[in-house]
Homo-oligomer: A and B are copies of this chain.
Amino acid sequence: MYFSKLFIPILKNNPTEAKIKSHQLMLRIGMIKQASAGIYSWLPLGFKVMKKIEKIVRDEQDKVGVQEILMPTIQSSEIWKESGRYEDYGEEMLRIKDRQEREMLYGPTNEELVTDIFRSSIKSYKSLPQLLYHIQWKFRDELRPRFGIMRCREFYMKDAYSFDLNDDEAVFSYNKFYLAYLKTFERLGLTAIPMAADTGPIGGNLSHEFIILADTGESKIYTDKRIFEVKNKDITLEKESLKKLREKYEKYYSVTDEKFNEEEFNKNVPEEYRLKTKGIEVGHIFYFGDKYSRPMNASVDYKGKKEFVKMGSYGIGVSRLVGAIIEAKYDDKNEIMKWPLPVSPYECAILPLISKNDNSNLNKANNILKVLKDNNIDTIIDDTEENFSAKMKKFNLIGIPFQIIIGKKSDQNLLEFKELGEESKNINLDKIVEIIKSKK
């Protein structure tokens, strides 16, 4: 793929309207463009990253046995009146009247709609558990949208819902998502810590936020540093195994602001392990029992008795993760971004020095591209006539982890190969392919 053919509108300087580094970078390298306040279009570079994140999120939901569906963005107000949240939700809910004057709304979340789907189809406890998810656009009419796609109005989210017969089974479902979330963030190259959290407007009494550390984060967190060392290897999808996983994490004090208690913190965490800092919420899971199933009459028959199902919900901000990864990985002092390979827009960039009337370096680049393509390495060639320093600067921002540089002195066999942020070395193409493949 040639850089010059792509729709990647690069800005020379940091946009002044952007206050945090993810917003700055995303505008600067043309990943997004604002459409209106708090609403963005995703341009090819941003879109590619978001789609790769979405794929990993989906894959880890599928692995723990959640089924994918797709609910619409526009909902009827009726089900929200049934649950009692229509009035509660306030002005963040985008309320709409259609041409027939029916009260509709743009879904900020889907507990009501999925409960309606469940109750119309599932009648017996034998069909439980049911775990359903969808990945769909949501709208929350923030009073002051800011920080680009980190706190915007229209956002892309994975939300899942579980339906079980009793608390014990419901916690089992909850723990499956707990594991899926740890694995998802790990694959995205992030260290996300599960923290006991408040349930807010969703309701219920068991909840965890998954938080990555970042100075620009809006969540205050209080944690025992040892929690960063907990491993989730060798966990199976069985009750006991998942229970043990949670216990391993819950050995360490780790809470968000609303749950924080100074005395407990000091009592439970030895001084050298105490960490008070800021973070970004990238996932949130809730168990709320029959909060929605009871008012909405979602029940199953259990041996002749009617039982309201016990529900949980589980969110991951897919579009928000693009920004969160930048916040975690972008060195804005030195203007170097490096995407984790699984979500990088391309895996390798070829930067040939091209002068007018001399296509030899571009031809070399094309030949290398062919070999990389045959090895399924997604590659971009910077075919512009910019000088090396301009190309370097640009690709330091674009953040593709591997670069092949073709300058005046390049010969056919040894190529200048660089992993972003490291020294370059001269090696042959076979070796380059081997290195990139080993990192995939």
Contacts and interface: CB of A to CB of B under 8 A. Distances in A.
Interface stretch (A64-72, A230-238, A250-258, A325-333): A64-72
Q: For chain A, which range describes its interface: under 10, 10 to 19, 20 to 34, or 35 or more residues?
A: 35 or more
A69 B7 contact: yes
A70 B136 CA distance: 13
A67 B44 contact: yes
A143 B98 CA distance: 10
A121 B9 contact: yes
B96 A96 contact: yes
A127 to B, nearest CB: 8
Nearest to A104: B36
Interface in A101-155: 102, 104, 106, 113, 116-117, 120-122, 127, 130, 132, 137, 139, 141, 143, 153-154
B98 A43 contact: no
A96 B132 CA distance: 30
Interface in A33-49: 33, 35-37, 39-44, 47
B47 A98 contact: no
A287 B137 CA distance: 30
A75 B36 CA distance: 7
A20 interface: no
Given A39-B72, A41-B69, A30 B121 contact: yes
A9 B120 CA distance: 9
A172 to B, nearest CB: 15
A91 B98 CA distance: 9
A88 B344 CA distance: 43
Contacts of A83: none
Given A6-B67, A91-B99, A74 B104 contact: no
Nearest to A30: B121
A70 B98 contact: no
Nearest to A98: B141
A420 interface: no
Given A30-B121, A68-B44, A35 B75 contact: yes
15 contacts: A6-B67, A7-B121, A9-B120, A35-B75, A35-B113, A37-B102, A40-B72, A47-B68, A73-B154, A74-B154, A94-B99, A96-B106, A99-B141, A99-B143, A137-B137
Interface of A: 4-7, 9, 30, 33, 35-37, 39-44, 47, 50, 65, 67-76, 78, 91-92, 94, 96, 98-99, 102, 104, 106, 113, 116-117, 120-122, 127, 130, 132, 137, 139, 141, 143, 153-154
Given A35-B76, A74-B153, 18 more contacts: A7-B69, A7-B121, A33-B117, A33-B120, A35-B113, A36-B76, A40-B72, A41-B69, A41-B72, A43-B117, A44-B68, A47-B68, A73-B73, A73-B154, A74-B106, A92-B99, A94-B98, A99-B141
